[in-house]
Chain A
């Protein structure tokens, strides 16, 4: 149950797009289409932004999108807004009904 690999930080200016990667193995990210992404603002509980690689729950802006290629999943935030500044975590089903998270990426809106 090794953690997924995310860049510690990412940044972009308002209106720009930014992509955050999440790298695992064939035993987790690459083996299942069960990658999720969470947004966490300081002092708040995480919020589901993307499930099953690319599905957006109701209420999540379509500026947020997810994809996967091989063992790497990605979250893209388009048209960056100030309120998008937060920590982002990926997670993946890892077989035997276990789940593994990434280390988190701090997104800064410049």
Chain B
């Protein structure tokens, strides 16, 4: 069974930085593209970023381009999301998920990022 476990969320001031991690188990990690999706409180889902299995190709939503960086360490079965220049509107539950083009399955339980002064 594939399991994804996010960590690294927390409270940060506007303009600050945070790094999220997603540890994966139960799969050949390097064979799969991975994705970050976020959900602001009481709002819908928003795709944030994706990365190829090898890690050499990355993709970003316009809303985070230039501020967020996705990466992965296939030796540790872990992907990351480095978030810089955080804004109040980045406040959300951040989900890690397996896949990209063909759909996201499964999803982790999410890690909460709160940007507030």
Contacts and interface: CB of A to CB of B under 8 A. Distances in A.
Contact of A97 (B44, B50, B109): B50
A1 B61 contact: yes
Interface residues of A, number: 26
> Can you list the 8 inter-chain pairs with the closest CB atoms, starting with the nearest?
A51-B103, A36-B103, A48-B105, A45-B107, A99-B47, A104-B44, A97-B59, A101-B45
A40 B39 CA distance: 12
B34 to A, nearest CB: 12
A99 B62 CA distance: 11
B104 A101 contact: no
Contact of A34 (B37, B60, B62, B102): B102
Given A38-B45, A101-B47, A93 B110 contact: no
Contacts of A12: none
A64 interface: no
Contacts of A57: 105
B61 A98 contact: yes
Interface in A84-105: 89, 91, 93, 96-104
Q: Interface residues of B toward A: which range?
A: 20 to 34
A55 B45 CA distance: 21
Interface of A: 1, 3, 34, 36, 38, 40, 45-48, 50-52, 57, 89, 91, 93, 96-104
7 contacts: A1-B61, A46-B95, A51-B105, A57-B105, A91-B103, A99-B101, A104-B45
**Most chain B beta carbons < 10 A, residue from A46, A93, A103:** A46
A75 to B, nearest CB: 13
A47 B107 contact: yes
Contacts of B106: 45, 47-48
